[in-house]
Amino acid sequence: MVETLSYTRGNLPHWLVADHAYFVTIRLSGTIPKSVLTELQAERDALAKANANEEASTELARRQFVRVERCLHAVDNSRDWLTRPGVPEIVLANLDWLEKQRGWQVYTATVLANHVHLLLRNNEGHSAELLADLGQYKNYVARQANGVLGRTGAFWAREGFDHWCRDEAKVIGVARYICANPVKTGLVKEWTDWPWTRCVEWLRPAPGAAGS
Domain ranges in the chain are: 4-203
- The whole-model pTM stands at 0.81
DSSP E strands, 98-205? 104-111, 115-122, 161-164, 197-199
Distance of CA 126 to the CA centre of its chain: 18
| The CATH classification of domain 4-203, taken from the options 3.40.80.10, 3.30.70.1290, 3.30.1490.100, 3.10.310.30 | 3.30.70.1290
Residue 63: what are its φ and ψ, rounded to 5°? -65, -40
Lowest mean pLDDT among 91-100, 105-114, 128-137: 128-137
Query: For the chain, what is the mean pLDDT?
Result: 83
Q: Compute the half-sphere exposure of residue 21: CA atoms within 13 Å on the CB side of its CA.
A: 20
CA quadruple 21, 132, 8, 63: dihedral sign:
negative
pLDDT band at 117 (very low <50, low <70, confident <90, very high): very high
Using alpha carbons, select from 33, 5, 1, 45 the residue that is nearest to residue 162: 5
pLDDT tens-digit readout, 118-131 = 999 998 887 778 88
**Using an 8 Å Cβ cutoff, are 67 and 106 in contact?**
no
Who has greater pLDDT, 130 or 108?
108
